[in-house]
Structure 1
Amino acid sequence: MAAGDEKTDITALLYSNRSAAAYALGKYLAAATDASLSISLRPTWAKGHFRRGEALLALGRVREAHAGYRKAAALEPHDIHVRVSCERARILAQNESMGLRVVQMLAGRDFALKPRGLHPIRAGIFRFAQGMQNFIYLIADEESRKCVVVDACWDVDGILAVIEREKLLLAAAAVTHSHFDHTGGMPPPPFASLRIRVSGVAELKRRMPHLPLLVHPLDIPDIIESNPQLQPRHFTPTPNGFSFRLGDRTDLHFMHTPGHTPGSQCVLVNGCRLFSGDTLFPGSCGRVDLKGGSLPDMLESLRTRLCAVPDNTIVYPGHEYGGEWTSIGREKKRGFLRPDAHPGCSRHNSVDVARAANSANATVAV
């Protein structure tokens, strides 16, 4: 290698590393600039394109980020990390093109953070929330700025702070099913004896009395049982096929998918984004051995309703069990939507698989 080439390689590497450092410090514009300098010196190195993609994504320049990731993936087609980042940017670019914004919040990362001061009960609840790995979502229409929060639980203050930070207007709260880690309220035994209350939809309703609570009718009684301050009149029932619009371009379609609970439901947005709650996870499905669970109902929901959803639909699950997202097509190939995934399996085996996939703590109704 000529001395000039070696010097260029070192300089390109230094710019790439400085880009990574700037990104880690939250200096995304500087990170993008350094990544571009690295690319100008060595355009055939995937690393510079990847660094530029991650910086642009943090800056909200989604389509440019996707282009950078695509270039990196073309140069390093076997790098799984690059491919996953490229696919994530592609999904975000598609969302942007349809005027949709999806904010995925994880307990302990985006909300339910360590409280300031001496709040031992709240700190304990937040630690438990982090162990449960719940995802909470904001489904927003970019034009109207209206949003629906899905499965608001654990930390209403933290969730509302994210909504304010994103400059969104809360239009409704949707609940995928009645378990307390998705609704708040009194936890199940043996924790009920502690007399604690988990912040959730009842707190939202107290602060915003006119906020619609979108819940399937079959799960309303269980939510009231753990949140006695709520009454039937506080809910907007969402039978199968119910629709809720956000602006002119964003439509939420509610699909009844029993099995995990009698009133479990998924929310299909614009026909191509599915918020699956605890019905479907990457590579697995929800537990059926808890109160109200039903293996036959779960199999029917998976085989009939979810298999009818288009293959290119992106699935956002209710917990980080196996990943942040998947797709209907992927689950038909490798997950619980495979045609051969269930026939002939015993109830015992099916329950064991669901429990192993979905239980962060086997004593808790998740």
Structure 2
Amino acid sequence: MKPLHIYGYTSGKLQTNSYIISDQDDTFCIVIDPGESPHQMMELIGNRKIEYILLTHSHYDHITGLNFLKKMTDASVVVHGSEAEWLLNPTLNQSIKSNADIVCKWPDILLHGGETIHCHSFSIKAIHTPGHTPGSVCYLFNDKYLFTGDTLLAGAAGPTNLPFGNRDLLKTSINHKLFCLADDIVIYPGHGGMSTIGFEKSHPVLPHIRHVI
């Protein structure tokens, strides 16, 4: 299987990570969570064709650049079905608190969890991990690279002290849907640096959490 090229950049007051994943030939790419500084993103994308725009969830700091990117491409926007309406609602996506109401179009593909997206040499598993938000999704590329949004960060779990956050659901998602994955899977979170499943399992991110084998 061809290796992936993963490009990331951080933007905005919340220091949100956005990712561009391309194949070895760099002819196409997939974007995850187009945050602020979309012009910087387009510079990184260059001449690659964008196939999909994957959203880990619909909070404003992860979708600020979505409208700009959608205008520049015919890529399909992918989000969990429970948060499709959030893209159209500044109160739900929390942008109303940032003094910049964000209203996007209805997404192209709605997930329910458990789907696999096949794109060229990529196999992308959508893992529904509610807790930080009801529709949080982690994307596992080629069984090696996991983009976790705000579900699991390096050394921490995502916050749940926001509307619709649920700490118990987050613990269950991390415990039963992420910690059962292979230890060597690399984590690319929505904020902060990289980690691995193995490291996070050996350094519990929530009190009383226990990983399953």
Q: TM-score, normalised to structure 1's length? A: 0.52
Match of 1:327 in 2: 196
Match of 1:285 in 2: 157
Query: Of the two structures, which has the highest relative contact order with CA contacts closer than 8 Å and spacing of 6 or more?
Result: 2
Quick one: structure 1 residues 236 and 147, their matched pair in 2 at CA, closer, same or farther if it must change by over 3 Å?
A: same
Does structure 1 conserve the Cα–Cα contact (< 8 Å) formed by 2:87 and 2:104?
no
Match of 1:206 in 2: 71
Q: What are the Cα deviations for residues 298-342 of structure 1, in whole angstroms up to 9, with x where unaligned?
A: 01101110011111100011111xxx21000000101327xx743
Match of 1:174 in 2: 54
State how far apart, in whole Å, the 2-side matches of 1:276 and 1:229 are: 22
Match of 2:95 in 1: none
Match of 1:304 in 2: 176
Read off the aligned partner of 1:342 and give its amino acid letter: I
Runs of 4+ in 1 over 6 A off after TM superposition: none
Match of 2:103 in 1: 228
Does 2:79 correspond to 1:215? yes
Match of 2:144 in 1: 272
Aligned length in residues: 199
Does structure 1 conserve the Cα–Cα contact (< 8 Å) formed by 2:51 and 2:75?
yes
Where does structure 2 lack aligned partners over 5 or more consecutive residues?
A: 91-101
Does structure 2 conserve the Cα–Cα contact (< 8 Å) formed by 1:279 and 1:286?
yes
Does structure 2 conserve the Cα–Cα contact (< 8 Å) formed by 1:315 and 1:326?
yes
Q: TM-score, normalised to structure 2's length? A: 0.87
Question: Percent identity, aligned pairs only?
Answer: 28
Read off the aligned partner of 2:200 and give its amino acid letter: E
State how far apart, in whole Å, the 2-side matches of 1:251 and 1:175 are: 16
Read off the aligned partner of 1:100 and give its amino acid letter: L
Does 2:108 correspond to 1:243? no
Match of 2:98 in 1: none
Does 2:127 correspond to 1:255? yes
Quick one: structure 1 residues 229 and 222, their matched pair in 2 at CA, closer, same or farther if it must change by over 3 Å?
A: closer
Where does structure 1 lack aligned partners over 5 or more consecutive residues?
A: 1-96, 108-128, 185-199, 344-366
* Residue 183 (structure 1) aligned to one of 52, 63, 71: 63
State how far apart, in whole Å, the 2-side matches of 1:229 and 1:173 are: 13
Quick one: structure 1 residues 327 and 229, their matched pair in 2 at CA, closer, same or farther if it must change by over 3 Å?
A: closer
Tell me the secondary structure at the aligned position of residue 126 of structure 2.
Answer: strand
Does 2:205 correspond to 1:336? yes
Tell me the secondary structure at the aligned position of residue 137 of structure 1.
Answer: strand
Match of 1:148 in 2: 30
Quick one: structure 1 residues 246 and 142, their matched pair in 2 at CA, closer, same or farther if it must change by over 3 Å?
A: farther
Quick one: structure 1 residues 270 and 244, their matched pair in 2 at CA, closer, same or farther if it must change by over 3 Å?
A: same
- Between Structure 1 and Structure 2, the one with more helix by share is 1
- Between Structure 1 and Structure 2, the one with more strand by share is 2
State how far apart, in whole Å, the 2-side matches of 1:169 and 1:207 are: 10
* Residue 45 (structure 2) aligned to one of 143, 147, 163: 163
Tell me the secondary structure at the aligned position of residue 78 of structure 2.
Answer: strand
Does structure 1 conserve the Cα–Cα contact (< 8 Å) formed by 2:131 and 2:169?
yes
